[in-house]
Amino acid sequence: MRRFVALTAVVLLAGCTTGSSLMPGPAAGISQVAPDRTGLTTISSLGSQKIKHVIIVVQENRTLDNLFHGYPGADTVSTGVTHTGAVVPLTPGHLEEAYDLGHTHANFETEYDGGKNDGFDEVATSPQTTSLAPYQYVYQNEVQPYFDIAHEFVLGDHTFASQNGPSFPGHEYLIAGQAGGADDDPTDVEPWGCDSAPGTTVPVYANNGSVTNIYPCFNYTTLGDRLDAAHVSWRYYTTLGTRLTVELLPDPYDALQHIRFGPDWTNDTVTPSTQILNDITAGNLAAVSWVNSPAAASDHPQLNDGHGPSWVATIVNAVGNSAYYNDTAVLVTWDDWGGWYDHVVPQEYGVAGRGFRVPLLVVSKWSRHGYVSKATHEFGSILHFVEDLYHLQTLGTRDAVSDDLADCFNFKQTPPAFTPIAITTPIYLMKLANDRRPSDNY
């Protein structure tokens, strides 16, 4: 039976203020103790009645200190610490930069430095530039739509990547709460997964620290599988690619053998990413959607051209100006830290534990408006949120040890009217639709 797949809940984390505060990480080493969910609030049955669609927008490679510097009420700083103990100022820079920052698993360990968060100046950039390049924040006028979304809805300022590696595991964790033990990118270019070129491998880390290099085609359970079992529609919007015979780039579901070679691959994957706007307008959204933004609008250093904030605002406005606004949550997050400095020390749980902070915006009629969430969220929280809404069985991965974003919502309020987000960069949808570059292959 053909399943209709569409991203209907867009999750943008912006503006929550209550919840548990982040505990500092261990002084040295990696803790093997998993967090528990004792005392965490959960999405009520009322939430399941109010929210029928979720859209998860995935941007690239930013920390909270880098992207939301100085946002009122958010935990950001104006200085950072280097490996020598020197305190240096965070300097303003552009969203569009000519260099990329190291952000492999090994780079994370160097920057994390046993819980000191002081090794960012010891990681190389490409091409090489000043060692203080990571100690930067983006000029506010270049990300003003993000600030405006946060102001109107919710910003989660203690949200962490569920992994401490780069894009490949980051995108896998956003669909499954795991990456089969992988915590780095595969050795070859996109596509990553069961369509990877022969000889492509990805390092898989064991808890004892050993590493095995394997072909990046796995078979673990995903949120898409749980939705299928419950007969709930879903859709993954991604870039139209050009390599080999594979037309979809990138798509974390490509790394799952049973999906890549099953009916979901045809039924539930959509290109280009801009099709999400047409589906909103046409009333054609699935219950759950992921939107993997085009490279030009991804916020990824060296790839983006400044479109990201206005692209995300365009999705939010499309929902806000449609009937979907009554029952949709848009969740916006970033797949990993991208090498940028962040001062908050993440808790770690094993080799593939939490990474550095990433922004989260939670956009919904039922959001706690103008709220900065201080609760500890991670990618598993997004999965847990969807599981609670649709009464799904837990995946038993990071979702099982994460909250479910409950503090970001008030389902008993009388919601204010939607105020459209101002677009600061003209959006040329045809240009974005034809951007065939992978947005997460660095």
Q: Is the pLDDT of residue 190 over 90?
A: no
Q: Is 419 left (phi over 0), alpha (psi -120 to 50) or beta?
A: beta
Nearest to 149 by CA among 333, 414, 397: 333
Residue type, 15: G
Residue type, 372: V
Place of tokens 């090498």: 339
Q: Name residues whose C-beta falls within 8 Å of residue 58's C-beta, 6 or more positions apart in sequence.
A: 171, 174, 290, 291, 292, 293, 333, 334, 335
What is residue 249's predicted lDDT score, i.e. its pLDDT?
62
Calpha distance 309→15 (Å, rounded): 16
pLDDT digits (tens, 9 = 90+) for 68-106: 999 999 999 999 999 999 999 999 999 998 889 999 999
Length of the chain: 442
Contact status, residue 123 vs residue 82, Cβ threshold 8 Å: no
pLDDT digits (tens, 9 = 90+) for 354-380: 999 999 999 999 999 999 999 999 999
Q: Is the pLDDT of residue 21 over 50?
A: no
What is residue 45's predicted lDDT score, i.e. its pLDDT?
80
| Residue 374 CB neighbours (<10 A) | 20
Structural domains in the chain, sorted by start: 45-433 (3.40.720.10)
> What pTM was computed for the model?
0.90
Q: Name residues whose C-beta falls within 8 Å of residue 223's C-beta, 6 or more positions apart in sequence.
A: 175, 176, 234, 288, 383, 386, 387, 392, 395
What is residue 407's predicted lDDT score, i.e. its pLDDT?
95
What is residue 350's predicted lDDT score, i.e. its pLDDT?
64
Contact status, residue 223 vs residue 383, Cβ threshold 8 Å: yes
pLDDT digits (tens, 9 = 90+) for 294-318: 989 999 998 889 999 999 999 999 9
Q: Name residues whose C-beta falls within 8 Å of residue 414's C-beta, 6 or more positions apart in sequence.
A: none
Structure tokens at 392: 């799904």
Calpha distance 40→402 (Å, rounded): 9
